[in-house]
Amino acid sequence: MIKNKKVDQQENNNFNSITIKLSSPDEILARSYGEVLKPETINYRSYKPERDGLFCERIFGPVKDYECYCGKYKRIRYKGIV
């Protein structure tokens, strides 16, 4: 007999508790990468993130999958580069 995948997923989602804690400054530095150099966030004309700004592609990754900011590397063949 075939079971429904949704039913199986609902059975696995049962849990009793969850623990949340604050990260220490050392843990934050260990996980972080990138640096914000400008106060700008998004370009008002193109609606793209500003380079070196708060939402920079260097920090959060490219806006489009498998395509760099300058457009030099496009498509899935550059999967490991972008």
List b or e across 34-73, with b for residues whose CB sees 16 or more CB atoms inside 10 angstroms.
Answer: eeeeeebeeeeeeeebbeebeebbbeeeeeeeebebeeee
* pTM for the predicted model, two decimal places: 0.48
Which of 1-5, 63-67, 72-76 comes out lowest in average pLDDT?
1-5
pLDDT in tens, 6-37: 555 556 677 788 999 999 999 988 887 777 88
Return the structure tokens found at 51.
Answer: 């380079």
pLDDT at 57 over 70: yes
pLDDT at 56 over 60: yes
Task: Give me the DSSP letters along 11-47.
Answer: HHT--S-----PPPHHHHHHH------SS--B-TTT-
